[in-house]
Each structure stands twice: as C-alpha cells, then as structure tokens.
Amino acid sequence: MNQGPEEQLNTPLEDVLANLPEEESPEGLEERCRQALDEVTPAVKSRLQWEPWRQLMAAAAVLVMVVGAGNLFTGGRVREKIFPPQRPRAIETEMPVSSVPRYATKYEAAAPQGPAVGTPAPSAPRGPAGPDQSGNDTKAALNAAGVERTTVNGWSNRPSTDVQRRLAQDAASGAGAGGPAALPAAPPPALPPGVKPTGVQVWIGETPPQVKRRLGVEVAQSSGPRAPAAYAPGGPPTATPRAPSQSYNNFGVSQANKPWLDQSDTRRKMTGRSIELETPRVEETYKQATTLIEKAGGYLTQENLSILRKSRSTANLQARIPVGQFDGVVAQIRDLGKLVRLTGESQDRTEEYQFEGTSIRELGAREEQLAAQYKAEDKTVPKARLKRQLEAVRQQLAATKDAMRSLHHEVSYAQLSLTITEARGLRAIVKSAAEQALPLAFSLALIAVPLLVLALIWKRKS
C-alpha cells in the first residue's frame, strides 16, 4: 500500500499491516462497477442551479445581520428608520395652532412675563407650590416616558354657557354693594408678545388669583394645597377664568359676599368625594366628566391629562361643584367607566358657620354703636379713642367676613377628585408586553435568522 511521504510506519506490526499482499480482483469487477454507475444518476444539476441563489442568500443574510447588529447597538434607531412608528390617533386630531388655547403656551410664556413676586423659580409664572410645580414634573415625566401627545382641550377651560349667562346677570344687576365684578365676556386675548404657540400639550389649570379676586373669590382664605402664592400685579396673564363670579349655594339665597345674613337652620357641611375610574378611552371620558361638571355650575381647580403611547394614559382633575348638584354629578361620573374606588368625607361646619355669623353681626352692631358715639362725641381725646376702637372693630369685622366667605364657599361647593386610568384587561396587557418586547425581538431576529440561514448554507456546502 502507498504510504504518505510525511508519515512513517514506526512499528513492525504497522509495517506488516501496511504491506499485506494484495489479491487480484475478480474478473469483470471493473465493468460491474461501471455498470453500477449507470444505474444511478447523481442529482448535481439542481445543486449547480441553486449555487448562485445560495450565494445571494448568504450575502443578503450577512447584510440583514449587519443591520440587526446595528439596530441592537443603536437602541432601535435602524428599525425606526426602516419602519417608522405609527403616530397615535390623538395626533391626527391635533388642534390647529390658531385654536391652541393660551395656556398651552404656558411653559414658553414664562420668560416674557417676568418673574412673579414670591416665586423662587424665575422661569415659572406660577407659585412654587401647586399646579405649576406638578405641571413641570408632569412635563418632564411625559418627556421621559416618550409621550407623543397630551392634550387638554380648550373648550373644557371656558365657562359654560350657563355660567356665562349667570355672570352676565350678575354684571347687569350691578353687584353694587360690594358685589363681584362680572366675568368679562370677551374672547380670550391674543398670545403675549414673544410667545410662540408651540403646541405644548400639558397644562395644569388653576384660576389665577387676580381673576379670583375680581370674581369675589377670596384667594387668601380659599385654603387648600393648590392655592397659588402671591403674584406680581398683572401676574400670570395666560389663564382663562374658570370659576363662576359668584357662589350659588343650595340655600336659595345668593350670599357669596354676605353669608352672615343667612340665619337659617340648614346644616352646613363641607363635602368631598374621590373617584377612581378605569376606562378604555381616557380622553373621551375626561371630556365627558368636565362637561358634566361645568353643566352643573362647577369649575375645575386642577386637571392633568396624559395620553401616553407606551404606558397607561391617565387623567386627574379636581373640581368644585355646587352641593345641590354634587350627588347627581357624582352619580353620572361614576357611570362613565368602571368604578375602582369611591371615597367620600363630610365635615359639619354649622357651628363654626353660625359662630362666624354671630360674630359678624355683633361686630356690626358694635361698629354701629361706636360710629354713633364717635359722631356724637365732641371732645378731642375721647373722640380719638373712639376712632381707634372703631378702626380695630372694623379690621376685626373685615377679617371675620373674609373667613366667613371662605367658609361659605367651602360648604357651598363640594370638592370632587377624579382619577381616570386606562383600563388594563388581559388583551391590553398582552398588547403592551408585545409592544415592549417587539424591538428586542426584532433586533435579535435580525441577527438570529440570518445566522440560521448562513448555518444552513454552510452545512449544505460542507
């Protein structure tokens, strides 16, 4: 037998094995072997036809794999270039720039408005606490969450026609005896100079204090965590008034500014409800809720709507609703979606109310008495003493009236806190999980599938 030139047989046994005598093959073995070849046909033609296709497939697989690797290491940018993500439905119904409400530009409007008094952050037109702070947080959170669009509808921030009608009546009746000024019925003023309506879609609404003052709502005493701090004169000009000019209580008398005149035995309760709803369409439910509130004569004190593409959309609003309409509105709102939680609290403030009323009446009587004495007194020294007493009583009377008005507002308008979250059924969970896993699966598939193709091609070739 032949031995390779590079290998030598080392042992005698190997030598014997390699040099065994060959035997002659049977006669006609070669011919039999050739005949055997005639019996079979090698299937080489199809392989040769497939050869260029395999090369092409291999090249395509390598290309796809490179794209997949690039996509994996660039965080999905390649995929987004190939398959641009679909914009959410809300974008298709985006409001034209001309109809963007003023408050939509609140973030951009910060610089031209100048710093607000008592506001530590110069870029924030609102106070340090309350809605603006949460609004900034919300904006940052939305940006971090990749929000495509968040909308607060302009119509929901205008007073309803019912409220406007009442305001017009108030204006016509004069409210002369210390009555509130009527809400200007003029359309919203134009954007401030230098403000560009960029369509920022987040706004946390709060009625500006100067508007509240004009409407007769005492800002200083309207307690609550959302009450803004003091503003510079002519402070934030970009909010549309939302509260009615005058409180309409459930007691048949318009006494927003003279509640101490009411000496009925009606119990005065401060009521609040907190509702949490789940609904598949957050934005629509939010609109319906605000419509119900405004039709009932209520107004929103705070709202936050977040339509998120990658996570659950949410909406939060806090509203004040006349106590007479409150139960009806709550019943209607809770039917707008699946009720998750409903809590309520009530506090009887009747004694405090009556005490404040009695104090005011007594102080009023005292004031009248002192005024009469002051008028009748001729001597200088006693007259000066009476004057000081009269001023002290008047100051005390004014403070007590303010407290009374605040108390009256609290018992006349019940507070509603509504949270709307997007419903998460099994289908929604599966869809969300699939959407989150899709980019990674796509990147891995772009690498794994070409690798599989290459492996199959290589296997067939070898």
Q: Which residues bind another protein (CB under 8 A)?
A: 1-4, 6-7, 11-14, 16-26, 29-30, 32-34, 36-37, 39-44, 47-48, 461-462
- 234 to each of 206, 240, 289, 379, how far by Cα in Å? 16, 14, 32, 46
The smaller minimum CB distance to another protein, of residues 53 and 155, is found at 53
CB of 456 to another protein, least distance (A): 15
CB of 10 to another protein, least distance (A): 10
CB of 8 to another protein, least distance (A): 10
According to DSSP, the residues that pair with 420 across neighbouring strands are 277, 315
CB of 65 to another protein, least distance (A): 25
CB of 52 to another protein, least distance (A): 15
CB of 57 to another protein, least distance (A): 18
Residues contacting 450, CB < 8 A, separation 6+: 60, 61, 62, 64, 65, 68
The smaller minimum CB distance to another protein, of residues 427 and 459, is found at 459
The smaller minimum CB distance to another protein, of residues 55 and 263, is found at 55
The smaller minimum CB distance to another protein, of residues 49 and 380, is found at 49
CB of 46 to another protein, least distance (A): 9
Answer whether 299's CB lies under 8 Å from 242's CB: yes
SS3 122: coil
CB of 450 to another protein, least distance (A): 23
CB of 4 to another protein, least distance (A): 3
The smaller minimum CB distance to another protein, of residues 16 and 253, is found at 16
Q: Is 272 exposed, middle or buried (0-12, 13-18, 19+ CB in 10 A)?
A: middle
CA dist 446 and 70 (Å) reads 10
Q: Which two tokens stand for residue 240?
A: 């549309």
The smaller minimum CB distance to another protein, of residues 15 and 402, is found at 15
- 395 to each of 25, 112, 358, 362, 371, how far by Cα in Å? 135, 38, 16, 14, 14
Q: Single out the residue of 201, 184, 193 nearest to residue 93, CA to CA.
A: 201
The smaller minimum CB distance to another protein, of residues 9 and 399, is found at 9
SS3 175: coil
CB of 62 to another protein, least distance (A): 22
The smaller minimum CB distance to another protein, of residues 14 and 345, is found at 14
CA dist 112 and 195 (Å) reads 7
The smaller minimum CB distance to another protein, of residues 25 and 74, is found at 25
Cα 151 to chain center, whole Å?
A: 8
Q: What is the dihedral of CA 398, 402, 408, 411, to 10 degrees?
A: -150
> With left for phi above 0 and alpha for psi between -120 and 50, is residue 279 left, alpha or beta?
beta
CB atoms within 10 A of CB 261: 11
CB of 30 to another protein, least distance (A): 5
- In our burial notation (b when 16+ CB lie closer than 10 A, e otherwise), range 91-106 reads eeeeeeeeebbbbbbb
Answer whether 256's CB lies under 8 Å from 408's CB: yes
Q: Is 82 exposed, middle or buried (0-12, 13-18, 19+ CB in 10 A)?
A: exposed
